[in-house]
Structure 1
Amino acid sequence: MTILAIDTSNYALGVALLEDNQILGEYITNLKKNHSVRIMPAIQTLMKDCERVPADLTKIVVAKGPGSYTGVRIGVTIAKTLAWTLQIPLVGISSLEILASGTGRYFEGYVSPLFDARRGQVYTALYQFQNGNLTTVEQDQLVMLADWAGKLTELSKPILFVGNDLPIHRAKIEELLGTKAIFASITEHNPRPSELALLGRDIQGEDIHSFVPNYIRLAEAEAKWLEAKGKISNG
């Protein structure tokens, strides 16, 4: 089994190859550059360096959001195209789950990965490792950070926060949660595509035609267009 993992859901771009129980290769950058231009060369370079060709692939695993509307769409479109062309399974994994999986494995508490969603909002979720397996305590959601932190004060265990957008919200988290809040190292904030591959390894493929990203909310431009057409309310 040779799995190609693709993550362009945020500024970090990552691709990885997992073959059986070995990570053959992994490529990560955290740059504010156009993913649509860089993702295919990254995949091609990784495949060439690992001496693999597209026909060797047996599954595609992609980060399906939440995150950047454009970034999520790019990754999912490429993943669907590759899976359809090669006639191999496609699996989507939460972009937040990838972060949690990469940092919380040896943490005795909860993990709250987050992405900034502007105006005091964050995309986040809550996870916990139990018997070596990552379990979801709270599903992916868009929420005001203050409301989320208030909810977490009710937990009896510490919470590990992780994500490249953490500096934007760290002061508020510390103010509301105090010593209950633990912050991951800067080396852990980039989602690892190898974790993405591992998360999707044993999951059954989804229907490629009906597979859709998890944006959680509409892109602002799309929301305004629908509102102008009277298809959604102002509330």
Structure 2
Amino acid sequence: MKILAVDTSSRICGVCVSDGGHPICELCLTSGQTHSRHLVDTISRALAAADLALDEIDGFAVTRGPGSFTGLRIGISTVKGLAYASGKPLAGISSLEALAQQVVGDVAERICAVIDARKNEVYYAVYRVEQGRLVEDTVPRVGPPETIPKSNARTLFVGDGVILYEDVIRRRHRENATLAPPEWNRIRVSSVTRLAAFRLERGESDPVDTMAPFYIRKSDAELARERTMK
């Protein structure tokens, strides 16, 4: 199954084309400009590098969040448009699960994905690995890094939040904490395609019309509106 996946949950714009869960072409672009300026062009370049036309894609995938509010909206609206126009299925993938998927091959009993949420907080979720598949132990949450639950099991921490709060993680989780190598602390879109392939090949997809970003917390604009209405 040929899948085109997009990740715009951070300042990096990523596109991957895969076949059977194996990447054919993966492009990542870091720019000071908004993703809307170059996402469509990056998709076109990825398809060209994979020697595929858009109508040869069997399904689409996109990170739903958590992450950059603006980035998520751009990526999701773009991929929803492609899925709607082509009539092909769409899978929305958690940014935290995509991070955890990258280190499934490690020997850790638990994986904790941690993304910087700013305001001295992180988005996080805890997974265990069963027969090579991720099983969610803790639903995605947002809070200070000190709120990440402790465990007696060896836990592998991955994500840009680990870099920012390494001292907190090491102090609280001590010998049970292992930190992923730096190169794994950003989402690789190929992990999004692997998760999407597992779902789409089983006939599981998200409704194109109603799939929305998964922000976890409210935006500053929403909070401001609520304050003015009180």
Task: Please give the range of the TM-score, normalised by the shorter of the 2 chains.
Answer: over 0.9
Would you say 1:145 and 2:145 are equivalent positions?
yes
> CA shift at 1:120, angstroms?
2.5
Q: Residue 82 of structure 1 aligns to which amino acid in structure 2? A: L
Query: Sequence identity of aligned pairs in percent?
Result: 27
1:41-120 maps to which residues of 2 (within 5 A)?
41-120=41-120
**Native 8 Å contact 1:60 1:79 kept in 2:** yes
- Measured against aligned partners, the alpha-carbon deviations of 1:201-220 in whole angstroms (never above 9, x if no partner) come to 13212111111110111111
Match of 2:156 in 1: 160
> CA shift at 1:196, angstroms?
0.4
Would you say 1:195 and 2:191 are equivalent positions?
yes
Q: Secondary structure at the match of 2:187?
A: coil
Larger mean Cα displacement after TM superposition, 17-26 or 60-69: 17-26
Q: Residue 112 of structure 1 aligns to which amino acid in structure 2? A: C
Q: Residue 59 of structure 2 aligns to which amino acid in structure 1? A: K
TM-score, scaled to structure 2: 0.93
Q: Secondary structure at the match of 1:165?
A: helix
- Measured against aligned partners, the alpha-carbon deviations of 1:46-80 in whole angstroms (never above 9, x if no partner) come to 10111111111111111000011111111111111
Q: Extract structure 1 runs of 4+ deviating beyond 3 A.
A: 29-33
Where structure 2 has 5 or more consecutive residues not aligned to the other structure, the ranges are none
> CA shift at 1:21, angstroms?
4.8
1:27-42 maps to which residues of 2 (within 5 A)?
27-42=27-42
From 175, 180, 201, the counterpart of 2:176: 180
- Measured against aligned partners, the alpha-carbon deviations of 1:4-40 in whole angstroms (never above 9, x if no partner) come to 0110011232111111253211112455542111211
Would you say 1:169 and 2:165 are equivalent positions?
yes
Report the Cα distance in structure 1 between the residues aligned to 2:208 and 2:115, rounded to whole angstroms: 27
Report the Cα distance in structure 2 between the residues aligned to 1:53 and 1:22, rounded to whole angstroms: 18
TM-score, scaled to structure 1: 0.91
Q: Secondary structure at the match of 1:212?
A: coil
Q: Using a 3 Å threshold, how does the CA distance of structure 1 residues 179 and 33 change in structure 2: closer, same or farther?
A: farther
Aligned length: 226
1:190-229 maps to which residues of 2 (within 5 A)?
190-203=186-199, 204-229=204-229
